[in-house]
Amino acid sequence: MQQRTLGNSGLRVSALGLGCMGLSHGYGPAADRTQAVALIRKAVELGVTFFDTAEVYGPFANEALLGEALAPLRRDVVIATKFGFRIGQTGLDSRPEHIREVADAALRRLDTDVIDLFYQHRVDPDVPIEDVAGTVGDLVRAGKVKHFGLSEAGAATIRRAHAVQPVAALQSEYSLWWREPEREILPPLEELGIGFVPFSPLGRGFLTGAIDENTAFDSNDFRNSVPRFAPEARKANQALVGRIAGIAAKKQATPAQIALAWLLARKPWIVPIPGTTKLSRLQENLAAVDIVFSGEELAAIDAALAAVAVHGERYPKHLQETVGR
């Protein structure tokens, strides 16, 4: 597996990580624990060294799952987790005392003595980002955390945080059907030497071509509430998937592999974290690191997709308001 460094942080990880949320949370019933542990360990065997979780996934169950799966392999992997939600209630909570509590609890669940990358999950408008960055900086100096990250933060917030405690990585949505970060986020990340970790690089499964307007999601699947996954939007967005499938056929690859390889080609400090519960999908995704595009091919991809409008917002309104702050 190829390796990449997240910006100027020195944090070196596999070119593709594994987003672990879906093993416990968000897409219907949790995966069988024994099978989930096996999948995570197989990912390590296949060269993945970067694993992403959060206290809110479950909640708490996903961190515990990673702790169990990776305990025998801890020296070989990088674990990222997150703070910032008020678990059991609604709303955000990035008060310094809460950040410290979450860090200690995450260390216990992950069965480790240090968190490699500790993200603020969403920017809390009630807590100055300087206080958040300073608190994580204290945890770094205490040896409980190695690196500080942000998720779905806006450019101004990133700059303010980075001035207090170096930000190793920003995690935000980025894919062939959500390219908004290219406008205002990628330039300051490059300027400041901050890595970028795209979540949902496969459009929450849509870019694989396995979802259409007739797909029925589990009642607990959060995509039921996402405007972009309303049946009429899924039908309209098939035009995008069709373009990607055509490109994939020419490269003798799958649409998922094209979507991931395209992200990898954007910048050398971009590390996508696709998630899956299936070994076959894991192997398919990891094969994307071997796909290389010429400049002409990348230009052709941009041209092919530019003519396709994506329908539907990526979050329901109440969640849309929490991103880009």
Is the pTM value of this prediction over 0.95?
yes
Q: Could you report the per-residue pLDDT of 4-60, keeping only the tens digit for each? A: 999 999 999 999 999 999 999 999 999 999 999 999 999 999 999 999 999 999 999
Residue 74: closest CA among 39, 19, 23, 115: 115
Q: What is the pLDDT of residue 277?
A: 97
Residue 288: closest CA among 259, 267, 266: 259
Q: Could you report the per-residue pLDDT of 60-94, keeping only the tens digit for each? A: 999 999 999 999 999 999 999 999 999 998 899 99
**Rounded mean pLDDT, 194-208:** 98
Residue percentage of the chain with pLDDT more than 90: 96
Residue 220 has pLDDT above 90, yes or no: yes
**Rounded mean pLDDT, 213-242:** 96
Pair 164, 133: CB distance under 8 Å: yes
Residue 233 has pLDDT above 90, yes or no: yes
What is d(CA 223, CA 138) in angstroms, rounded to the nearest whole number? Answer: 37
Residue 312: closest CA among 217, 210, 231: 231
Count of beta carbons in the 10 Å neighbourhood of residue 214? 8
Q: What is the pLDDT of residue 105?
A: 98
Residue 318 has pLDDT above 90, yes or no: no
Pair 180, 159: CB distance under 8 Å: no
Q: What's the whole-number average pLDDT of the chain? A: 97
What is the maximum alpha-carbon separation in the chain?
54
Q: Which residues are catalytic?
A: 57
Residue 317 has pLDDT above 90, yes or no: no
What is d(CA 163, CA 157) in angstroms, rounded to the nearest whole number? Answer: 10
Place of tokens 């992403």: 52
Q: Which residues contact 87 (CB under 8 A, 6 or more apart)?
A: 55, 56, 59, 60
Q: What is the pLDDT of residue 92?
A: 97
Residue 319 has pLDDT above 90, yes or no: no
Residue percentage of the chain with pLDDT more than 70: 100
Q: Where are the beta strands (DSSP E) in 127-247?
A: 145-151, 167-173, 195-199
CA torsion sign for 259, 52, 126, 139 is negative
Domains of the chain as residue ranges with CATH: 3-320 (3.20.20.100)
Q: Could you report the per-residue pLDDT of 117-158, keeping only the tens digit for each? A: 999 999 999 999 999 999 999 999 999 999 999 999 999 999
Q: What is the pLDDT of residue 240?
A: 95
Pair 171, 149: CB distance under 8 Å: yes
Determine the straight-line distance between the first and last CA of the chain, rounded to whole angstroms: 35
Q: Could you report the per-residue pLDDT of 263-306, keeping only the tens digit for each? A: 999 999 999 999 999 999 999 999 999 999 999 999 999 999 99
Q: 219: which 2 tokens?
A: 């009642």
**What single letter denotes the amino acid at residue 119?**
Y
